[in-house]
Structure 1
Amino acid sequence: MNRPYKLALLASLYLAQGLPFGFFTQALPVLLRERGLSLAAIGASGLLFLPWALKFLWAPLVDHTGSRKTWILSLQFLTLVGALGLAFVDLESSLVPIFAALVLFNLLAATQDVATDGLAVRLLSPAERGLGNGIQVGAYRIGMILGGGALLWIFAKAGWSAMFFGMAAILLLTCVPALFLPGKLSVPIAGGVSAPTGSIGADTPPAGAALRLGWGHRLRHPGLPTFILLICAYKFGDAMASSLVGPFMHDAGLSKEEIAIVKGTIGSIMGLAGAAAGGWLAWRYGRRIALISCGVLQTLSLLMYVACALDPSNKSLIYAATTCEHLLGGMATVALFTLMMDASDPHHAGTDYTLLACAVVLGSGLAGVCAGFIGDAIGYAGVFGLSVLISGLGCLALVRLLDHGHGPQRLATVWPRRSA
């Protein structure tokens, strides 16, 4: 399978995930705040993203039954049908249908993500993973631009129906590259390289009860629980701050159109640049240097949100803060995802990577809930300041502990270790 097709395929699949996710995480909080919901209620709505945190439960099933092509195309089609269905539902009188759609769309996207992540681990060689993760985050950001920016703009101009028709049309286009995906992959990773072992195990495919509970076996491998805590800590502070940026912009007096441009479009475009930069750093300088530099820059970018909270009338500062956080946060995300891919066994790629991704999603969801309650209690400046502290400590903890071998053994090939 040639590299251009691999990258185009992965780009289309991750864009398809980012599209509804961008709407539900960026546009929907603004609309909820407009209806008068409290910050705590908006933060608690993050619990509806539980499918992303729980997808490890069915990841072994996706990983070892059927073909990835069948899984991906079926899930894409169901999401498209869901978007078309919402175009004919009256969403002005009640929020129940939109919350139900949020759960359903996230269930479908989370399951598609298991198949797509497993596909990426198998298709990409270790040398391609920085590039591949740049594509992953970059395409996802494009989806979020469309979902959190373009679709919010369409809603502001033409209403719910036009917005969901637009979502369905984009989802249809993303199905095209997957039509040419082989039903079976002949080798576990690109180039015919045999899959290395040692991180999360490389035993025979599970069956029966072992298939349903295969994630439990993967979770028991030495170093993995510590690694899960570390990757959550690395993104927790950034997730706290970013979860309240939309409501903060609304409370600062920005219109829906301004938020769509600043947060959805400009911010996500900078996220694309960050994804490219983060992938290049991981490829050029290695995982350790990439994670240190990106983690520090991500932490420093959050300081700008503190300044915004202290001077909410300064729109230029808000624009600058959003630009920097998306750029530097995108860099940190790609660096972290590349390391997560290194820790995944290609023989169980979907299950392994899903466990790690679920940890990040669960941690981010918890961060959003905490941020909502803390924000109601001490205000935006306080919660943004706390996010800076947590982000810095998370970066330090990840680097220090991995330096001394507190992680999966598989990482020894990409992360030089020091004696304890």
Structure 2
Amino acid sequence: MHRHPLALLSSLYAAQGLPFGFFTLALPVLMREAGWSLTAIGLLQLLALPWLLKLLWAPWVDHHGARRTWLLGLQGCSVVAALTLALLDLGSESRGLLLAVLVFNLLAATQDIVTDGLAVRVLAARERGLANAIQVGAYRLGMILGGGGLLWLWARTNGSTVFAVMAALLALSTWPVWQMRELAPGAGPEDAAPRPRPSAGQLALGWWHRALAPGMLTFAALVFCFRFGDQMVSSLITPFVSDQGASKETIALMKGAVGSGASLLGALLGGALMVRVNRRTAMLSTGLGQALTFALYIAAALGWGGMPLLWWATVAEGVVGTMATVALFALMMDASDPDHAGTDFTLLASVVVGVGSLGGIAGGVVGDAWGYVWAFGIGTVLSALGCVAMVTWLDRRPTHARVAQAWR
């Protein structure tokens, strides 16, 4: 294992967030300027299907091959993909960018299986709060650099330069992986001996057996409820800011410097909160707090506050939203069986991505049909109700012994 596992995990999560941030934060702005509808931008979420479907190949990745080998191969493919886009110099109106979204999502989703399994295995329960703060903070930083930073660069240069810079940053994030000691499948710091490798037949349906493990489907449904409303709102924020007349440079600054600072502060506060309180208190306070921040976007959609309010909303949502994500991911690690770490966490992460896609589509459809006020309002109510539903259920019926231990 790497001598500094948190540094390794930080670089890997940042590498995932970099292209994902560009394709989810910057590309919608570019598409909106090119005349694409809100519904079409919402359907962009369908290209994130690899994040939802990765559960199909997660058991094979989890139990086949060494983690260092997987990580180097996937990171290298991402660098090559970014360099290919730089050579093609695709414009923002090109449908070739949509294929690029799919390719990057496939590579990053597979890398995420390896990274999440590594994190669950090497981190003790008491370390997961701080570790998830670092995880979420690094991922958010990657997203902000990819979304805000590369959008700012696109406004001043061109697509070729943007993708060349992306390739360089991805290559830089691979350096800690080269220093990682090779681990055999099933072996890790907490393992006394390597586990026997499952057969091909067991791997083919491994995800299904894990989904049917006691409490797993119920917990997945609770994660869905917790995230659906906030994904409705989040998917519309950048198009909304663009429709308010903000330039690409302003959006880049809002989502880059300000959004990055807010997210990093939220990750630090989320980690500190997880050290001091149980999972129940963390989930309830951050979940309801996040729904409360969405009220600022409702006010802005009603015409109150103007651009200054949108800056404050960016800060509030960045801080509290990141804290809620830290709490949720720590709880998801608690619910993952260390013997099937990559598969279990992947199943739950696929739910998070799936609800993101469905929430984005729902937000786009409602926004086109009834306007931003209704879309933000419905998303806010569903966000609060989902938080209350999760807490109420786990109070009465903890889905796993590991969750019950951390919950109170």
**TM surpasses 0.5:** yes
What secondary structure, in the 3-state scheme, does the structure 2 residue paired with 1:244 have?
A: helix
Q: Which residue of 1 aligns with 2:130?
A: 131
CA distance in 1, matches of 2:237, 2:69: 38
Q: Which residue of 1 aligns with 2:160?
A: 161
Q: CA 1:371 to 1:223, structure 2 compared with 1: closer, same or farther past 3 Å?
A: same
- Give the Cα separation in 1 of the matches to 2:87 and 2:93: 14
Larger mean CA deviation between 148-157 and 277-286 belongs to 277-286
What is the alpha-carbon distance in structure 2 between the residues aligned to residue 204 and residue 70 of structure 1?
19
Q: CA RMSD in A?
A: 1.8
Contact (CA 8 Å) 2:186, 2:196: kept in 1 or not? no
What residue in structure 2 maps to residue 303 of structure 1? 295
How many residues are matched? 407
Contact 1:288 1:415 in 2 (8 A): yes
**Which residues in structure 2 correspond to 1:1-400 (within 5 Å)?**
5-92=4-91, 95-184=94-183, 192=190, 205-311=197-303, 314-400=306-392
1:199 is matched with none
1:406 CA drift (Å) = 4.7
Larger mean CA deviation between 114-123 and 306-315 belongs to 306-315
The 2-side partners of 1:299 and 1:379 are apart by 19
Residue 329 (structure 1) shift? 0.5
Question: Percent identity, aligned pairs only?
Answer: 52
Whole-angstrom distance in 2 between the partners of 1:335 and 1:186 = 29
Aligned-partner Cα distance in 2 for 1:246–1:396: 27
SS at match of 1:88: helix
Counterpart Cα distance in 1 of 2:92 and 2:43: 21
Deviates more, 1:146-155 or 1:274-283: 274-283
Asked if 2 retains the 8 angstrom alpha-carbon contact of 1:301 and 1:325, the reply is yes
Q: Does the residue aligned with 1:399 lie in a helix, a strand or coil?
A: helix
Contact preservation (8 Å) 1:271, 1:326: yes
Asked whether the 8 Å contact 1:223–1:409 carries over to 2, the reply is no
- Hey, what does 1:200 align to over in structure 2? none
2:60 maps to a residue whose letter is: L
Amino acid at match of 1:26: L
CA deviation string 1:19-78 (max 9, x = no partner):
000000000000000011111110011101100011100000110000000000100000
SS in 1 for 2:370: helix
> Does the 8 Å contact 1:63/1:351 carry over to 2?
yes
1:350 to partner: Cα distance? 0.5
Q: 1:193 to 1:288 in 2, by over 3 A?
A: farther
Deviation at 1:92, TM superposition (A): 2.7
Q: Report deviation, 1:409.
A: 3.3
Residue 276 (structure 1) shift: 1.6
CA contact (8 A) 1:188 1:347 kept: no
Unmatched tracts of structure 1, length 5 or more: 196-202
SS at match of 2:4: helix
CA contact (8 A) 2:63 2:186 kept: no
CA contact (8 A) 1:189 1:346 kept: no
- Determine the C-alpha separation between the residues in 2 that align with 1:389 and 1:338: 24
Equivalent residue letter for 2:22: F
Residue 407 of structure 1: aligned partner: 399
The code of the aligned residue for 2:135 comes to Q
Rounded Cα–Cα distance in structure 1 between residues aligned with 2:355 and 2:174: 30
Contact 2:63–2:185 at 8 Å: present in 1 too? no
Task: Report if aligned partners of 2:144, 2:260 keep a CA contact under 8 Å in 1.
Answer: yes
SS state of the match for residue 87, structure 1? helix
- C-alpha change, 1:328 and 1:188, in structure 2 (3 Å) is farther
2:65–2:184 contact (8 Å) kept in structure 1: no
Displacement of 1:142 after TM fit?
1.1
Structure 2: unaligned runs, 5 residues or longer:
none
Tell me the alpha carbon deviations over residues 82-137 of structure 1, each in whole angstroms, 9 at most, x when there is no partner.
Answer: 00000011423852210000000000000000000000111111111111111110
TM-score normalised over the length of structure 1: 0.93
What is the alpha-carbon distance in structure 2 between the residues aligned to residue 188 and residue 279 of structure 1?
28
Normalised to the residue count of structure 2, the TM-score between the two structures is 0.96
1:347–1:188 distance in 2 versus 1, CA, 3 Å: farther
Distance 1:413 1:385 in 2: 35
Whole-angstrom CA distance in 1 between matches of 2:42 and 2:188: 39
| Cα distance in 2 between the residues matched to 1:189 and 1:67 | 11
Task: Report the 3-state secondary structure (helix = DSSP H, G, I; strand = E; otherwise coil) of the residue aligned with 1:414.
Answer: helix
Question: Structure 1: which amino acid aligns with 2:67?
Answer: R
C-alpha separation between the residues in 1 aligned to 2:135 and 2:260?
14
